[in-house]
Structure formats: structure tokens, C-alpha cells
Structure 1
Amino acid sequence: MTDARTWHVAVLMGGWANERPVSLMSGEGVAKALESRGHRVTRIDMDRDVAARIAEAAPDVVFNALHGVPGEDGTVQGMLDLMGVPYTHSGLATSVIAIDKELTKLLLVPKGVPMPGGRIVASESLYDGDPLPRPYVLKPVNEGSSVGVAIVTDESNYGNPIRRDAAGPWQEFRQLLAEPFIRGRELTSAVIDGPDGPRALAVTELKPKSGFYDFDAKYTDGMTDHICPAQLPEEIEQACLQLAVRCHTALGCKGTSRTDFRWDDEQGVDGLFVLETNTQPGMTPLSLVPEQAAHVGMDYPTLVEAIVAEALRVHAKEGADG
């Protein structure tokens, strides 16, 4: 590095996961923000030669703007660990656990984190009968951004039992996680790390204008209203903030994370459930982490710089400790 505030950052984005378009938007936003602050940026669209391309670029740090597999599941993290290159966001072990919804529950529930019940089911079994009383939710075990989520109700047009020709995640994934549907409100809270430890930024309520908060609702402008800060009772707001930090810490997240909730507002704090923690939150103009950072007075370039600075700080500390 030329000085303490100027870095050469390789922004890793794209890839071949379902979330490639979102990753490209995140990566380009990050790259432009860093360039606006005078940093040197190398944009790298993930392909099978990515290790050689990173080695050739020889950056000070990699900003991991990938979403989904293999950028979010520990694969890229392990590669960068072997290369000895600092990178943003969570490490290998955390990434492996957090992208797997079943492993996440096995780790968080014993630590007192309220999460919906449910079980892993074979997609083939859905054509014989429901795994849970309706309404229930089906989701892939290892996908993010609400990819492949279906809500099965008595009124849904999937059939009863689900028909083989009904479009849904059962046609794309061999196994699915079945969870009881929690009525109520969709909430989320971002956490960022710093020298003083993790802090939750705010709570946002997500109100899709139609349907539910699926992939399209997340990333199509105008399809979802973001209420930030969410209009909530004080005890619910504080519970969300505290749970977000607890999940971030228990999973071993680094840099930033975002924890998603469902809240049954007829049940008070007993109706609040963690759905998942995302270790690679989006950084697009519609994304929630930048929105919450702005709410607490941190503009987009400052947020990006803070994430990079934290990655370098952690890498230096681990090197000193090791």
C-alpha cells in the first residue's frame, strides 16, 4: 500500500450463481465508490481462472462482492486463505455454516436464538403429501436472496398434494427445507464490524407491494417499500438489534452481515423469529446494508471503505497472532 488510506482493491463479482446480476451490480457500486475515494481498483468477473487473475493483479485486498455459490459458501474464502490474500466479509468456516440453513439452525438455536421449526425433506416426497400442516414455506437449503422460496397454502395453485408439473423449487432442488409459515411482518437488521466490535445499524421493515419478499421483490426497483427505521415497539426493535449481533458473533461473521426476521405482531416478543443470517449482503443501490448505514450517518463510499479497512485490520491482527 502506498499509504494508510490508499489501497489496491480487487473487486470480485459476477460468477455463475443465480445471483450473478445482483453481484455485478454490487461489485460495480463498490468499485466506483472506492475509485471516488482515490483507491486503485481491479474489477474481476469470477471465472475458473480466478486464482491466476487475482495473483496477477496482486491486490492489497479482495472485496468479495459475490453472492451465492461459490463466492458465499466457503469455496472462494478457502482459495484466498491458501493464497494469503486478505478479503472482506466472513471466512471459510462461517461461510460454510451460514449458507446452509440447517447447519445455521444447529448452531444458533442452542444459543437461544429463536428460529422456526422445520425439517429437511426430499422434493420427491412432496408429490405424496405435505411435510407440515399448511401454510408452510419451502426453501433451498443452500441459496440466498430468497431464491427458490415457495409458500404453500390451501389457496395456492400448486395442488394438494403438490403436482409434479407445478412450477416451484421442488423442480430445481433435490432437497428443501420445510418450515411453518409465520404470519406478520418482514424485518431485517445489518451488523458491521469495527475496532470496537460489531454493532447493529437499524431495523428495516420490508413491505412487498404484491406477493412476498422474494428475489424479484428484493432487486426490482419499486416492488418493495423499505421502512427505515421500522415503526416498532421499543422491545421489538431492541430484540432485533441484539439478535442480529448475537447471530453475527455466534456464527463468527466478519465485516458485515444481515439478519432477517419474521415477526408475528399479535404475539409480542414471543412472535419474533430469526430466518437466516446473510454473510454477503448485497451492496446494490436497493440493498439494505447501505440503506441502514445511511440512516446512521455513513454514506456509501464510507461504508465500503470501512468494510475494506476492517478486512485489512483483521488480516494484520491474525498475522501478528499467528
Structure 2
Amino acid sequence: MKIAVVYNRESQAVINLFGTQNREKYGLETIRLIREGLKKGGHEVKTFEGDKNLIQNLEDFMPSVISGERPGLVFNLSYGIQGRGRYMHVPGMLEMLGIPYVGSGPETHALALDKVVTKILLMQQGLPTPKFAVLDKPDSPLRENLTYPLIVKPKDEAVSFGLKIVHNEDELREGVKVIYETYNEPTLVEEYIEGREVNVALIGNNPVEALPPVELVFGEGPQIYTFEDKKNQSGRTVEKVCPAPLSDEETERVKELAVQTFNALHCHDSARVDFRIDRDGNPYILEVNSMASLGADGSLVFAADKLGMDYAALVNRLIDVTCERYFGKDFFDQESHEMNTTADKLFKRLTTTRGRLEDELKSWTNLSSRTEDAVGLSSVRKRLEERLAKLSLKEVPKLTNGRSAWTWETKAGLKGGTLLVVPIDVPGKRTGYPLSFRKEQEWIYGEGVASSRAGITTALAALKALKDDKKLAGTKTGVFFYADEGRGMRYSSAMLEKAASEAADVIVMQPGFVEGKVVDQRRGSREYHIIAEGDPERVGRKSEPLDVLTWFLDQTASLRELSSRRKKIAVSVQDIQSERYSVLMPHRVTATIAVTYLDDKLAEQAEEQMKKLFRPGRTGMKTYIEQITARPPLRQKKSHPILERLEHWAKAYQLPFGTESSLLATASGAVPDGTPCICGFAPASRRLYTPDEAMHRSELVQRAVLLALYLQEEPT
């Protein structure tokens, strides 16, 4: 699964920097150990700072999951950047975003970070903790009857900041003054328990497991674990002993108290409870660390190692207990997740490589290949051929013209199998710089990302998944790719018709619609080039009949009458240009007119009426009409074997699926009527063929999964 390790170290990326600054930082070596340990567990891991850019980074790394796909998860190491509630910042953001994370929630961190509130909760639960008082300022009176020596420490800090033993009133006031001036917060004063210090780390939830207690042996100097000790600045080495040399009764007692404390504060996944044990063997709870250190010398890591759990095993154990908490006990159950069938393996293979899929899409999108760009098209074609060759596909010379259309097939051949149809050109002329590739939570943007690149990526991903499972060679599959979508397939349609006649069915990798809808009906289109020529006229001269431009515009206005929503036919002017001499009126007008339709007879009738409309309007005027492209429609069929199989697999793996009709003509129209065909199998798009073209992000993996399932075998 995808795991984002989130920490705070260097970044101070916030809108304003003020207030209490965080003094706690994870070392780079610890972050590296966690990352490498998670990778050993088979996870895809990235690290991020827990700053204001976190939301965008997580959106980019772990988009919304599809049904049945394991979601992304955050391994939270974040102590926050600033503020008294800094431990709560990242967990609060993650809960807002709906992202599971390792560790306790913001409410638990709020309780554990406030040592006074923690002690009050412990007392309410009847759990032993040293007697205490709170001094707001250095001169605040100490009203509680406490016995020296005492411990002073900041009320809301961790890592032993400001921790000190005081033996009399003067030392007490000096310690409180230092804390007040350094941390600007009240001081917790509690009775010092002379004896031994023991830590108990905990892992799990329901039930939570207490690890063997760890005793801290301080040697010379103060018998407390100071900040200087933790940072190796005290000049002494604090020895850890695990299991702590306690009696069986004492061991069980501190472990039981640790579990009760864990539950009292509603901790999750892991924590550490610190104890002092007096000379009579009575344990006292000092505090709760709701983010137990994963540093190599921390008590949690030390105790886990004594149980035979190395670092990689420990961090992956934390992932397991977190997933169990969020998704149930059977989430990692081997039987429920055992991949028994090819379909199961394909689903897992593709849903666990989403990041690589998006990287692949980016690499294709960054290759420009507009329809008029011969060099760019050649680069894309060569790269696609290299990829197909690596998948052990071979070119089919009789179904390739080498200029605008190419067909490749698996070892089992195309005949009687499935033909995937993929455009490699991006229609339209480039104006300015191309739109750069970028990702949002739901959409991915880039030049041709929906009209071409998503289809290429989806097809290759499905084929590679089949090859990795050693199933591709035996599937009857072909790939037809062409380079003149922007020209209406003027040169490649005949070759596609020939290739499609070899196949049992055809899937066209053009954009579909959101919610997993493919296209089972598309209108056909015909494009006409019209030229009208007349004599040049002076501006302002009264002429009868009208000059050629005015006459032409009058005729185009009548085209609207040829359109009918009810009859599913539309006639429109797509482009118009004029030529003139100096200040004279235009003497030549050229235009492109498009007709979209479902009924061939209606299209022919519209063509005849259009020819009548553009007959010369006066003596000396000439008109020419030429059909430049003709793309037949894709019509709905009552019984559709492709849709039936796709629906089967979509239901089996809870993938969104449906059908829709479209007004745009595509390569599907060139497929012979007797060959089952669907279109719109590439991810859904928006703003298609515009500079803001985008494809639906989640559908990239959804479509790859569904295509692989479809190709691998007939459903039972």
C-alpha cells in the first residue's frame, strides 16, 4: 500500500511564524530506517514535511481509492511546527482529509501533552501518580503539602525539556523561573519518587500489548532522564535493561497499569508509559508519551528488539495494527487476501502500482505529437513500438501502412481476439506553450492527456499486468495505433476496417464519461470544404446581388434549419476565412462545415440541401463543395457481448460501469457493423481538445484493471 511518512524537521512553511516553536525533531537516520523498513514490507513509501504543503503533497501521492483497493496511509511522526497544540495539527488535517494514519488522534495528543490534565485523568481512574501542584509564575504560592525533593518541568513540553530535581524553596523558585522565561508556560511540580525508572511501550489497540518493561540505569548524577541525556550531552551513558529486573508480580503490575493508562487516554497503535518505582516496589505513573520515539535508542525499539522484532518488523507491525483498527481484523488475513485466480492477481498488481501508472502517463504526456508534428509523431510511434516489443508483441505487416496506421499482435495472434484502438496524435494546432502536466485530487491535466495519452497508458498497463502474470502470450490481442485522428482518420480508416475484420471484438481507447461509463453509440460525422468566389467590390459600392462574403454569411445562417435534435442531426460551420485585395471587399470565402448524424439517409439529405444553399448567387460567382472526411456512426446494438463481459467483471470487482452516447465521431465508426465494438474505454475527460484538457484521475487504474480482466479470459 502507499504510505506517506510525515515528520517535522526543517520546513517552516506556514502562513505566519509566531508562537511557541517546536523543539522536537526526528533524526534523518530514523526517518531513513522507517522508510527502508516499510519498503521491505512491500509498501510504496514517500516522505513529506508536515507543513502547509502537506495536503497538496498527499493529494498528489495518494488519490481517492477504488473499491477493493487498499487505501493510502500516513505514518505520522509529526511533532508540529508551532503552537501549544502542535502534536494535534497533522492528525487533525488527516482526519479532515479522510486519510488513515498511524498513531493517536488529536484529542489524545492534547491530553497527553498536557501533563496536568493527564495526571487528573489518572487520578480519576484510580491510577497511581505522584502528588503534584501547578505554579503559573515564579512567585506563585505553593499551597499543596508536597515533600522535597521535587521535580519541576514545563506543563506542556516533552523530551524532558526543563526537567530538574529541586531540594528546597530557593531551587524550586529558580527552576520555575527558568521554565517560565524559557517556555512561557506554567510549571508542573510533583514529588520526586526515589527509586527506579521503568518505561513500558505498548503496541496494538484491542487488545493492546504491553512490551517487556525497560529499566533506565543512570549511574552517577541525577537519577532522572534529562534532556541532555537524551541528546547525549550529559557526559554519561544511560543504560537500558530489558526485561527490567523486576519480580513477576512487579512486571505484571506495571504492564497492567500501562494498558489501563493507554486506554484511559484513548491512545491508538503505540505509546509509552513512564514509571517510577519506589523502594517498596510501588509503581507511580509519571507521564504518557502518545508518540513514543522510534529512534534507534528509544525504549519502544529496544523492547521490540528483545522480543526478536527488528526495526523493519516493528514499523510494519505498526502498519498492521493501524490497518486492523481502521479496516477490521481480516484486512491482513492471509486467507481473505490470498490471490487464487488470475483476476485477483491482476487486480492486486494494478491497484498497487498506481504511482507508476501516473508516472507513465506523465512521461507520455510530456512527449508532444500534434497531428501536424511529424517529428513528434515519429518519436511517440518509436517509443510505443519499443514498449510493445518488450511485451513480446509483433508487428502485423499486412495491417500496417507505415505512415498513419500500425497493427501489432500477441504471440497468439489477433484473429478471433480483441483489437485495442489507440490514437497517438493530439488533434488541433498548437497555440503558445503546451499545458504542463499537473495532478489534482480528481483530475490530471496536460497536453493530449485525455485525447491520447491516457488511452496509451491504460492499454500498456493492462498488457504489462497480463505479461507479468505470464498470461499475455496466450491471449488473442492486437493493438492498432494511428496518427491522423486530427484529420478525421482520412488515411488510416481503411486499414482499421481491415484489422477490425480480423478481430472478434474491438475496444476503442478514446475518453469515456465519469462514473465508469463507456460509449456504445456515437454519431458519425462528415466534413465539407466549401469555396465561394466572386468579383472584388469596392467598399460602400451598392451591388446587386450582394458581395460574396455577405452572400455566404446569409447562406450559412440557413444551415441552422438543417439541424434537428429530435432526428439527431446537426449542421454547423467550424471554420471560415476570406481573402481580399487592399481596401476591397472579399472576393473569396472558404469554410469548413460539419454534419454529425446517426441516420445515413438524413446525412445525405443534409448534403443535398447544403449543395442547393451554396449554388452561385449571381453571375460571375463560383462555388465548390468537397467532402474531406467521412466517419460513420457507432450504433447501439440490442445484444452486446462486450458490454455483457465488462459488466460481469465490473460487478465482480466493484468497479464503476455504465454506458453513454456521444456526439463526437471516433475511430469506432470505421469498425465493420458485424464486429462488436465499444468506444470511450479510456478514462473520462473534461475540456477535451482544449488547452485545459484533463482526465479523471481515479479512472486510470479503474480502466486498466477492467481492461486486464476483460482480456485475460472469458468470465465463467
TM-score bin, normalised by smaller chain: 0.7 to 0.9
Instruction: Give distance in 1, aligned partners of 2:142 and 2:265.
Output: 34
3-state SS in 2 of match to 1:213? coil
3-state SS in 2 of match to 1:286? coil
Match of 1:213 among 225, 229, 238: 225
Deviation for aligned residue 1:316: 2.2
For residues 277-317 of structure 1, give each alpha carbon's deviation from its aligned partner in whole angstroms, at most 9, with x where no partner exists.
11101111101111111112222111101111222222224
Residues 72 and 309 (structure 1 numbering): CA distance in 2 closer, same or farther, change over 3 Å? farther
Instruction: Give distance in 2, aligned partners of 1:40 and 1:228.
Output: 33
3-state SS in 2 of match to 1:54? helix
Deviation for aligned residue 1:73: 3.0
3-state SS in 2 of match to 1:112? coil
3-state SS in 1 of match to 2:139? helix
Give runs of aligned pairs for residues 194-233 of structure 1, distance below 5 A: 197-209=207-219, 210-211=221-222, 212-220=224-232, 223-233=237-247
What amino acid maps onto 1:52 in structure 2?
Q
What amino acid maps onto 1:177 in structure 2?
L
Give runs of aligned pairs for residues 1-322 of structure 1, distance below 5 A: 7-15=1-9, 17-20=22-25, 22=26, 24-58=28-62, 60-67=72-79, 73-125=87-139, 132-154=146-168, 159-160=170-171, 162-163=173-174, 168-172=178-182, 173-193=184-204, 197-209=207-219, 210-211=221-222, 212-220=224-232, 223-265=237-279, 267-268=280-281, 271-317=282-328
User: Higher relative CO (CA 8 A, sep ≥ 6), structure 1 or 2?
Assistant: 1
Whether the 8 Å contact between 1:11 and 1:41 is mirrored in structure 2 is: yes
Instruction: Give distance in 1, aligned partners of 2:253 and 2:81.
Output: 31
Residues 159 and 106 (structure 1 numbering): CA distance in 2 closer, same or farther, change over 3 Å? closer
3-state SS in 2 of match to 1:248? helix
Whether the 8 Å contact between 1:258 and 1:281 is mirrored in structure 2 is: yes
For residues 51-99 of structure 1, give each alpha carbon's deviation from its aligned partner in whole angstroms, at most 9, with x where no partner exists.
2222222271000112466686322211110000010011122121121
Instruction: Give distance in 2, aligned partners of 1:63 and 1:153.
Output: 42
Deviation for aligned residue 1:46: 2.5
Instruction: Give distance in 1, aligned partners of 2:109 and 2:307.
Output: 27
What amino acid maps onto 1:162 in structure 2?
R
Whether the 8 Å contact between 1:208 and 1:217 is mirrored in structure 2 is: no
Give unpaired runs (5+ residues) of structure 2.
10-20, 64-71, 332-716
Residues 278 and 40 (structure 1 numbering): CA distance in 2 closer, same or farther, change over 3 Å? same
Instruction: Give distance in 2, aligned partners of 1:103 and 1:68.
Output: 20
For residues 207-239 of structure 1, give each alpha carbon's deviation from its aligned partner in whole angstroms, at most 9, with x where no partner exists.
124433112312439721001111112221111
Instruction: Give distance in 2, aligned partners of 1:279 and 1:87.
Output: 14
**TM-score (norm. length: structure 2):** 0.40
**Greater gyration radius:** 2
What amino acid maps onto 1:207 in structure 2?
V
Instruction: Give distance in 2, aligned partners of 1:23 and 1:179.
Output: 31
Whether the 8 Å contact between 1:23 and 1:66 is mirrored in structure 2 is: no
Whether the 8 Å contact between 1:72 and 1:95 is mirrored in structure 2 is: no
Residues 123 and 254 (structure 1 numbering): CA distance in 2 closer, same or farther, change over 3 Å? same
Instruction: Give distance in 1, aligned partners of 2:316 and 2:32.
Output: 14
3-state SS in 2 of match to 1:123? coil
Give unpaired runs (5+ residues) of structure 1.
1-6
Residues 57 and 293 (structure 1 numbering): CA distance in 2 closer, same or farther, change over 3 Å? same
User: Structure 1 segments of 4 or more deviating over 6 A?
Assistant: 68-72, 128-131
Deviation for aligned residue 1:254: 0.9
Whether the 8 Å contact between 1:19 and 1:67 is mirrored in structure 2 is: yes
Query: Which range moves more in the overlay, 62-71 or 238-247?
Result: 62-71
3-state SS in 2 of match to 1:311? helix
**TM-score (norm. length: structure 1):** 0.85
What amino acid maps onto 1:64 in structure 2?
N
Query: Which range moves more in the overlay, 216-225 or 104-113?
Result: 216-225
Residues 304 and 160 (structure 1 numbering): CA distance in 2 closer, same or farther, change over 3 Å? closer
Deviation for aligned residue 1:13: 1.2
Instruction: Give distance in 2, aligned partners of 1:75 and 1:241.
Output: 30
What amino acid maps onto 1:292 in structure 2?
A
Residues 122 and 87 (structure 1 numbering): CA distance in 2 closer, same or farther, change over 3 Å? same
Residues 17 and 87 (structure 1 numbering): CA distance in 2 closer, same or farther, change over 3 Å? same
Residues 98 and 277 (structure 1 numbering): CA distance in 2 closer, same or farther, change over 3 Å? same
Instruction: Give distance in 1, aligned partners of 2:320 and 2:188.
Output: 37
Deviation for aligned residue 1:23: 5.5
3-state SS in 2 of match to 1:74? helix
Whether the 8 Å contact between 1:12 and 1:45 is mirrored in structure 2 is: yes
Whether the 8 Å contact between 2:137 and 2:177 is mirrored in structure 1 is: no
What amino acid maps onto 1:41 in structure 2?
V
Whether the 8 Å contact between 1:150 and 1:168 is mirrored in structure 2 is: no
Instruction: Give distance in 2, aligned partners of 1:288 and 1:72.
Output: 23
Deviation for aligned residue 1:133: 4.2
What amino acid maps onto 1:116 in structure 2?
P
Query: Which range moves more in the overlay, 226-235 or 307-316?
Result: 307-316
Q: Which residue of 2 aligns with 1:4?
A: none
Query: Aligned-pair RMSD on alpha carbons?
Result: 2.7
Deviation for aligned residue 1:258: 0.6
Whether the 8 Å contact between 2:79 and 2:87 is mirrored in structure 1 is: no
What amino acid maps onto 2:323 in structure 1?
L
Whether the 8 Å contact between 2:38 and 2:315 is mirrored in structure 1 is: yes
Identity of paired residues, percent? Answer: 28
Query: Which range moves more in the overlay, 134-143 or 35-44?
Result: 35-44
Instruction: Give distance in 2, aligned partners of 1:41 and 1:67.
Output: 20
What amino acid maps onto 2:216 in structure 1?
L
Whether the 8 Å contact between 1:99 and 1:144 is mirrored in structure 2 is: yes
Instruction: Give distance in 1, aligned partners of 2:252 and 2:43.
Output: 37
Whether the 8 Å contact between 2:50 and 2:90 is mirrored in structure 1 is: no
What amino acid maps onto 1:253 in structure 2?
C
Whether the 8 Å contact between 1:73 and 1:96 is mirrored in structure 2 is: yes
